[in-house]
Amino acid sequence: MLSATLTLNPAFTIAPVSRRTFGSFVEHMGRCVYTGIYEPSHPTADADGFRADVLELTRELGVSLVRYPGGNFVSGYRWEDGVGPVADRPVRRDLAWHSLETNEVGIDEFMRWARKADVEIMYAVNLGTRGVQEALDVQEYLNHPDRTRLALMRQANGSAEPYGVTLFCLGNELDGPWQTGHKTAREYGRLAMETARALRSAEPWLELVACGSSSSSMPTFAAWEAEVLELTYDAVDYISAHAYYEPIDGDLGSFLASAVDMDHFINSVAATADSVGAKLKSPKQLKISFDEWNVWYQSAFQAKQETDWQVAPRVIEDCYNVVDAVVVGNLLISLLRHSDRVTAACQAQLVNVIAPIRTEPGGPAWRQTIFHPFALTSRLARGEVLRVETQAPSYPTARYGSVPVLDAVATHDAETGDVTVFVVNRHLTDGIDLAVSLAGFGPGLQVSESYTLADEDLYATNTLDDPDRVVPSPAKDADVTDGILRASLPPVSWTAIRLSVSPHRPIQ
């Protein structure tokens, strides 16, 4: 067994836990919407056609925020197609995913779903093939109270009250040549600035997200952010970041260290934004919206792209294994660790499409392996994110050099006294004896619940036939003695341990 230590202290905090960190993403892509969240013929469907089993799992997952309606889809989307009588809505080509969009689900339907799921909406506007006027129109439809043409249209379509959307994405991945309406940084920056100013003239309190690079591997990365932000800095609140990870050539060691890359990506975007702010002599500090992230086996998708026009084809329905779940848990650790800058994030996507939830048409819904670390982190991370001092051995990786075998973050809820430690063991073969110093919290903390996700079969998955093959189990040997939390972490594992104040000791 290897050994590692963590030191926590309630005085050393990073930032409050942002509930928006636990966002998801619903794009009109593949089966995310149709036979995902929406299937009127399903046995569990409610009066609006939404699958109750998926709604229940969405609530269990702890989703706080959903980005909608894209993604690449939004760069060719006409929102007007999805309002009014369903029978009158046109079928359109979706160039992004080479499929057909029936527009059976549009703004009003999705807003009803969001209310049932109790999630906030991050609405993306089309700055690929459209621009300022379309953004103003959709904002008016969503948010204007009454009397105007589009507010009256919304009321006639069944929503007397405004939807009150406050968070808007200004387009999607327009740095990418694959994007419909791809633009240079200057072209996009000008359009985003004009759109932001127009939206703020309608509602000054809106929060706006400018498009950052679609990945840190883009040749224009950092230069794109710098040029876009020089044009938009004072008009927006966030710059976006997107990242997907997969094992390359079977290199699990590097894959398990994916959070090292996410850490570097976040630090680089923050540094670039701060540099622009300094250049502009602005006292404002931009936040980061990490509004697309996940494990995605992109190389397999690129080899199997659909070439014919279908409605809701089966696209990138990755089946996730134990290693994938550990990586997802570690990416959540990275996002929490950067809560001073990352205050919104969206795992892509919610259902079927690279998703924690899978469904079959007319059949069941089930939790993929990656469901569990997300759901538990969302439920247990409360209060302030703490700085964690780590001492652990390292292991060599082909992509990131020498990497610690252990990565961790912790949160502290001052109201309840609860402390939760989230930790991963990245080592492929060796367990870790973990010791966590809790001296700064005083006596009385005890383990109240613990979970470890691990399996001897690293490639075990949850499937239609065996939906609970991989589930968390109680953390091994988790106990507090003399102010030290100890636990045994299996190889390739994600663990969460909540510590609560003894009922015999008052919270100080």
Q: Which of 123, 107, 202 is nearest to 157 (CA)?
A: 107
Has residue 307 got a pLDDT over 70? no
Residue appearing with tokens 């006639």: 156
Strand partners, 99: 94
Has residue 404 got a pLDDT over 90? yes
Has residue 89 got a pLDDT over 60? yes
* CB distance 389 to 6 below 8 Å: yes
Helix orientation angle between 107-117 and 52-61, rounded to the nearest 10 degrees: 60
Alpha-carbon separation of residue 68 from 29, 106, 168, 280 (angstroms): 11, 10, 10, 32
**Tokens describing residue 328:** 């997802």
* CB distance 475 to 410 below 8 Å: no
Angle, CA 236 vertex, CA 181 and CA 170 arms, to 5°:
25
Q: What was the pLDDT predicted at 329?
A: 98
* CB distance 75 to 126 below 8 Å: yes
Helix orientation angle between 132-143 and 149-156, rounded to the nearest 10 degrees: 50
CA–CA dist 335, 373 (Å, integer): 13
**Tokens describing residue 44:** 């569990």
Which residues does the annotation mark as catalytic? Answer: 173, 292
Per residue in 221-252, pLDDT tens? 999 999 999 999 999 999 999 999 999 999 99
What is the average per-residue pLDDT within 385-391?
A: 97
Angle, CA 273 vertex, CA 183 and CA 338 arms, to 5°:
115
Has residue 267 got a pLDDT over 70? yes
Residue appearing with tokens 């439809």: 141
207: Cβ contacts below 8 Å, ≥ 6 apart = 166, 167, 168, 237, 238
Per residue in 330-361, pLDDT tens? 999 999 999 999 999 999 999 999 999 999 99
Has residue 306 got a pLDDT over 70? no
Sign of CA dihedral 439, 444, 450, 456: positive
Has residue 452 got a pLDDT over 70? yes
The correct answer on CATH 3.20.20.80 for the domain covering 18-380 is yes
Residue appearing with tokens 């799921």: 117
CB atoms within 10 A of CB 116: 16
Q: Alpha helix locations (H) across 351-469?
A: 371-380
**Tokens describing residue 203:** 């509602």
pLDDT band at residue 507 using 50, 70 and 90 as cut-offs = very low
pLDDT band at residue 508 using 50, 70 and 90 as cut-offs = very low
CA–CA dist 76, 70 (Å, integer): 10
Residue appearing with tokens 């390739």: 492
List where CATH 3.20.20.80 sits in the chain: 18-380
List where CATH 2.60.40.1180 sits in the chain: 2-11+385-501
What is the average per-residue pLDDT within 460-475?
A: 98
Q: Is 13 helix (H, G, I), strand (E, B) or coil?
A: strand
State pTM to two decimals: 0.96
Sign of CA dihedral 359, 457, 337, 397: negative
pLDDT band at residue 443 using 50, 70 and 90 as cut-offs = confident
Has residue 506 got a pLDDT over 60? no
Per residue in 117-127, pLDDT tens? 999 999 999 99
Helix orientation angle between 258-279 and 223-232, rounded to the nearest 10 degrees: 40
**Domain 2-11+385-501 homologous superfamily, CATH:** Golgi alpha-mannosidase II (2.60.40.1180)
Q: What was the pLDDT predicted at 299?
A: 85
The one-character DSSP state at 475 is P
